């Protein structure tokens, strides 16, 4: 258990911090609860104090991401359309699956940026030429 240091504050050992990191998912609030400390700053300080705790915390966070990705793939295998779309729009960008609107022009000098901005915003209205003074 943590001991009280010379300034009246708790002092945690490397082993205590490693134990608190275990099964935390790399979530600071979980480590904080496991240590029984009051401040996130304390967790940051002790996690960053030793190479072993930095590595353990990083590994926990990566493991949580791996678990989430595994669940996502399960949902995709179960034909969840939303998850399929999400995967394609994030990891499938290199294959052309993207939600970005691409605007192509062969003559860049004729591009009217204001019209393009209005079009993207859905406010595009073709402007009518003015007939002069009437």
Looking at residue 25, what is its pLDDT?
95
Mean pLDDT of all residues in 87-101: 83
Contact 4, 36 (CB under 8 A): no
Give 133 or 124, the one with higher predicted confidence: 133
Q: 57-92 b/e with 16+ CB inside 10 Å = b? A: beebbeeeeeeeeeeeeebbeeeeeebeeebbeeee
From the DSSP assignment, how many helices (H) and strands (E) are in the chain? 6, 2
| pLDDT over 90 percentage in the chain | 56
Looking at residue 61, what is its pLDDT?
96
Give 132 or 42, the one with higher predicted confidence: 42
Looking at residue 134, what is its pLDDT?
46
Give 114 or 105, the one with higher predicted confidence: 114
Domain boundary assignment for the chain: 3-121
Evaluate if residue 110 carries a pLDDT over 70: no
Looking at residue 120, what is its pLDDT?
77
Each residue of 59-81: pLDDT tens digit? 999 999 999 999 999 999 999 99
Radius of gyration (C-alpha) of the chain in whole angstroms: 27
CB atoms within 10 A of CB 34: 17
């Amino acid at each position: 258990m943590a001991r009280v240091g010379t300034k009246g504050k708790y002092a945690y050992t490397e082993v205590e911090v490693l134990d608190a990191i275990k099964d935390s998912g790399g979530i600071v609030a979980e480590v904080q609860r496991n240590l029984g400390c009051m401040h996130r700053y304390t967790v940051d300080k002790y996690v960053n104090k030793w190479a072993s705790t930095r590595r353990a915390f990083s590994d926990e966070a990566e493991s949580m991401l791996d678990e989430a990705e595994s669940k996502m793939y399960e949902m995709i295998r179960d034909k969840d359309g939303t998850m399929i779309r999400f995967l394609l729009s994030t990891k499938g960008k290199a294959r052309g699956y993207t939600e970005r609107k691409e605007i192509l022009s062969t003559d860049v000098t004729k591009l009217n940026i204001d019209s393009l901005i209005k079009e993207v915003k859905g406010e595009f209205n073709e402007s009518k030429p003015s007939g002069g003074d009437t």
